[in-house]
Structure 1
Amino acid sequence: MHTVALPRTCLGFTNFLFFLFGMIGFFICLWCSLNPNLFKDVNYTVTKSSIVDSIADFLSLKLWYTPMTSILIPIAFVTMLTSCCGILGAGCRMKCAIKSYVFLATVLSSIAFWIFFITGIYNIYSDNQKTRLYLERSLIFDYGKESDMITFLWNYTMQNYECCGVNGYRDFNNSQWHRHNPVKLYPIQCCKLLNRDNLTPVSQNCTLVDDASIESYKNVGCFLALRRAIIENKVLLIFYIVFLGTLYSALTFFAYCIIRGEPLIKAISGGFTFLPARNVPETIVERKHSYDTMSYMEEPPKKVVKVVSSANPFQTYKYAPSAPIAPSAYDHGHLSNTYPQYIGRPM
């Protein structure tokens, strides 16, 4: 914990998991966009699970005439790119990669938080009238289209939250769905079902007859049903918000530690500048200079000078001008005998 290794390890491992999930989602979306039937056959043969069909059916939906794969593939790619920046920054300590990671993670987290928690959950919880009107318009103009994402969300909401329309079954009177189904009063998802997979209603003429004996949820609006569900699960939603906020803050702080090159505890304590500094008394230690207690070690001479005698040209001497001179030579008057030092023998 007292080194930079902990932030690097946590940031690198977390982004590796995000990169792995993003890569799996990217290839699934790409495969379904090219050949969804092959995706169903191959994966169902291997896994024998009905989840494969649900994934393929969901990815084949369209949102405002745009396939879901065309929306999810760029999201998966940006997720992989963000995770790559985090992995490079944690593994190689690249400051540009860390800064890019913080920027991309902040943008993605802000967009997701605004769409799911502010636009969706909070506006329904606060009984926002603009949100109610927007849901009514989407039900009137967009519900009933084949392989449509909005139709899928409305059917899922009415079937799982046991409601009908925004305020009740009369919301379908002027809708596009009612124009294509003039005999029916409301969709079968508004009925009380015996089997949700096959959409088998308890009352046979549930969608055809407006009778009090018909078992349905036609008078229960989905807006109030969703608001009631949010109020009942308010503590759980707050926990999710706090958990995701803590995860984002921890990853951002790990990136900050790597940029500063500081350990985790030092980076935390460095932010508390309001704490008073600790006064430590200085201790002055006197230095004793004594040449008598110093020891000298002679080093081999790095340069040797050759001198030729003027009286006898055939006689030469060698000495080292960089040879160390002991301080005692100055005190006892032996400087002339120690410098220059003759080494070797006459040549």
Structure 2
Amino acid sequence: MGCFTFVKVMMFLFNFLIFVGGAALLAVGIWVSVDGGSFLKVLGPFSSQAMQFVNVGFFCIAVGAVLVLLGFLGCCGAQKESKCLLLMFFAIILIIFIAEVAAGVVALAYSSFAESILKAWATPALQTQYGKDDVVTKIWNSTMTELKCCGFTNYTDFTNSYYYNSHGNSYPPTCCRALNATCTQSDAQQSDVQGCFEQLLSTLKKNANIVGGIAAGICLLEVAAMFVSMYLYCHLDKNIR
């Protein structure tokens, strides 16, 4: 078996696994988005931990769809020896790689800018959707419970919000350290529960080695995928008989 044939077979097998994994993730994402209740019943005792996953069903669908597309392009490109499909595969991987690098640079070098962007998205949701929209409410409840935080910045994100006005001028229970029936402004102020953005940054810093290792591994896989696709692309003409 020549080098070209070996790389072609490995390209096909690797992308077939990506395709299968993406299809499974896509199916689960659709399942939890359409009928999250039955999904939680299947998990049984693990249902509380799964709530985080259920709340990001649409994210799973998006990631699964991208993986299915990449797997399909990679498999067909290698099997059919199609320059067009291999080039499309390379282009998509390159776009994802550039987006990840750009996001990482912005997050590290311009953390205050990233915070302002996230705050511009999060604050209106907390003001108008929390307590009204089930999806937004579940996502924030899960986040605040898991991270032991309150709001994006702090409890003031809920002041005069839909939740605040419809619950007798009170804040979500997670904004108070003592789990009282109602969390008043004085209770929230005395509790001084940290905002979720700062708590998330603190958690990421504590696990910086793990996060960095995962990010580096993903980047290496993407670079390897681009290299292999370009190798096949450049050597196709030499292998045409």
Superposed, 1:136-215 pairs within 5 Å as 136-148=123-135, 150-184=136-170, 186-192=171-177, 203-205=179-181, 207-208=183-184, 210-211=186-187
Q: What's the TM-score, normalizing by structure 1?
A: 0.55
Shift of the alpha carbon at 1:105? Answer: 2.6
Alpha-carbon distance in structure 1 between the residues aligned to 2:211 and 2:118? 21
Q: Which residue does 1:291 correspond to in 2?
A: none
- Residue identity opposite 1:187 in structure 2: P
Q: If each structure's helix is expressed as a fraction of its own residues, which one has the higher value?
A: 2
Q: What's the TM-score, normalizing by structure 2?
A: 0.75
Equivalent of residue 95 in structure 2, options 104, 107, 127:
107
Superposed, 1:34-183 pairs within 5 Å as 39-40=38-39, 44=42, 50-51=46-47, 54=50, 58=54, 69=58, 73=61, 75-111=63-99, 113=100, 117=104, 121-122=107-108, 126-128=111-113, 130-131=116-117, 133-134=119-120, 135-148=122-135, 150-183=136-169
Alpha-carbon distance in structure 2 between the residues aligned to 1:231 and 1:162? 16
Shift of the alpha carbon at 1:165? Answer: 2.0
Q: Which residue does 1:18 correspond to in 2?
A: 18
Consecutive unaligned residues in structure 1, runs of 5 or more: 62-67, 193-201, 263-347
Given that residues 176 and 187 in structure 2 are in contact (C-alpha distance below 8 angstroms), is that contact kept between their aligned partners in structure 1?
A: no
Question: What do the CA deviations read for 1:25-69 (whole angstroms, capped 9, x no partner)?
Answer: 2333444566556x549x72xx6564499479826x7xxxxxx55
Alpha-carbon distance in structure 2 between the residues aligned to 1:34 and 1:132? 27
Q: Which residue does 1:309 correspond to in 2?
A: none
Shift of the alpha carbon at 1:210? Answer: 2.9
Shift of the alpha carbon at 1:162? Answer: 1.9
1:206–1:144 Cα change, 3 Å: closer
The reply to whether residue 249 of structure 1 matches residue 220 of structure 2 is: no
Given that residues 18 and 83 in structure 1 are in contact (C-alpha distance below 8 angstroms), is that contact kept between their aligned partners in structure 2?
A: yes
Shift of the alpha carbon at 1:229? Answer: 2.4
- Residue identity opposite 2:88 in structure 1: S
Consecutive unaligned residues in structure 2, runs of 5 or more: 237-241
Alpha-carbon distance in structure 2 between the residues aligned to 1:52 and 1:19? 29
Shift of the alpha carbon at 1:254? Answer: 0.8
Which is higher, the Rg of structure 1 or of structure 2?
Answer: 1
Q: If each structure's strand is expressed as a fraction of its own residues, which one has the higher value?
A: 1
Superposed, 1:282-293 pairs within 5 Å as none
Q: Which residue does 1:233 correspond to in 2?
A: 207
Between the two structures, name the one with larger relative contact order (CA 8 Å, sep ≥ 6).
Answer: 2
